[in-house]
Amino acid sequence: MEGGSGGQKVVATNRKARHEYEILETWEAGLVLTGPEVKSLREGKVSFSDAFARVDEGEVWLHSLHIAPYDPANRWNADPERSRKLLLHSHEIRKLIGKVEEKGLSLIPLDIHFRGGYAKVKLALGRGRKLHDKREKLKRRTQEREAERAIRGQ
Asked whether residue 138 is domain-assigned, the answer is no
Residues making up the chain, counted from first to last? 154
Asked whether residue 53 is domain-assigned, the answer is yes
DSSP state, 5? S
Q: How many CB atoms lie within 10 A of CB 100?
A: 15
**For the whole model, what pTM was predicted?**
0.74
DSSP state, 83? -
Asked whether residue 69 is domain-assigned, the answer is yes
Asked whether residue 152 is domain-assigned, the answer is no
- 55: CATH: 2.40.280.10
Asked whether residue 134 is domain-assigned, the answer is no
| Per-residue model confidence (pLDDT) at position 1 | 39
| Per-residue model confidence (pLDDT) at position 6 | 58
Question: How far apart (Å, rounded) are the C-alpha atoms in residues 150 and 148?
Answer: 6
Range(s) of the domain holding residue 99: 8-129
Asked whether residue 26 is domain-assigned, the answer is yes
Q: How many CB atoms lie within 10 A of CB 14?
A: 23
Q: How many CB atoms lie within 10 A of CB 84?
A: 20
DSSP state, 74? G
| Per-residue model confidence (pLDDT) at position 87 | 93
Asked whether residue 142 is domain-assigned, the answer is no
- Number of independent structural domains in the chain: 1
Asked whether residue 27 is domain-assigned, the answer is yes
Residue 103 backbone dihedrals phi, psi, to 5 degrees:
-65, 130
- pLDDT tens for the chain, residues 1 to 154: 344 455 788 888 988 888 888 889 999 999 998 888 888 888 888 888 888 898 888 899 999 888 888 778 777 777 777 889 999 999 999 888 888 887 778 899 999 999 988 999 999 998 888 877 788 888 888 999 999 888 887 6
Terminal-residue alpha carbon distance, the chain: 42
- The per-residue DSSP string of 121-138 comes to EEEEEEEEPPHHHHHHHH
